[in-house]
């Protein structure tokens, strides 16, 4: 009982001291004119931002239309490029996907290891596998907190061959 009474007296004393030091706060809950002015100012800012976005969109649309007008000149340039031999060197095998994206899309990816909880762990695993096996791997984000390591293959035979390469190089027992 005395503890409860002491708590109540102490709390009341603390509130009174705070009010004496800081003063009684003034709450302007009934100032409708000030609230309306703030609301009108916020609405005006939103309208200005909306107008800016509309202007930028119109500018981008006009620039795109200007670019589309130049599409008529593509055929002669393409035909000329096909007739003349190219002086550019062939791309490196690592840049294959950059130069030939259509072929890269035809590849299938096989996830062969348990999912990792962080992308950093998955990338570390990929780095070590690439050093040991020399194959190309990708980290695939399945969802938040789930990252899988996969390699590309064209056929079932190639997939099995790569799995056996990984098993031989690392000593990991991989299921088929």
How many whole angstroms separate alpha carbon 173 and alpha carbon 112?
11
Indicate the domain borders of the chain. 31-88, 93-170
Tens digits of per-residue pLDDT, 8-61? 999 999 999 998 998 887 776 666 777 788 888 888 888 898 888 888 878 877
- % of the chain beyond a pLDDT of 70: 70
How is domain 93-170 classified at the CATH fold level? Alpha-Beta Plaits (3.30.70)
- Residues whose CB is less than 8 angstroms from the CB of residue 145 and which lie 6 or more positions away in sequence, other chains included: 117, 118
pTM given for the model:
0.39
CB-CB neighbours of 74 under 10 Å: 9
Q: Name the strand (E) or helix (H) holding 65.
A: helix 32-69
């Amino acid at each position: 009982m005395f503890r409860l009474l002491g708590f109540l007296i102490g709390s009341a004393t603390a509130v009174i001291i705070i009010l004496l030091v800081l003063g009684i706060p003034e709450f302007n809950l009934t100032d409708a004119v000030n609230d309306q002015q703030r609301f009108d100012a916020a609405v005006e800012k939103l309208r200005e931002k909306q107008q800016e976005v509309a202007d930028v969109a119109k500018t981008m649309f006009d620039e795109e239309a200007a670019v589309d007008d130049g599409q008529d000149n593509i055929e002669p340039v393409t035909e000329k490029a096909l007739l003349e031999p190219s002086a550019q060197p062939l791309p490196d095998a690592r840049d294959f996907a950059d130069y030939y994206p259509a072929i890269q899309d035809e590849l299938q990816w096989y996830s062969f290891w348990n999912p990792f909880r962080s992308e950093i762990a998955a990338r570390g695993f990929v780095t070590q596998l690439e050093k040991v096996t020399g194959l190309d791997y990708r980290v695939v984000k399945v969802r938040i907190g789930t990252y899988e390591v996969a390699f590309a293959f064209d056929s079932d035979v190639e997939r099995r061959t790569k799995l056996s390469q990984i098993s031989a190089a690392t000593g990991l027992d991989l299921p088929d």
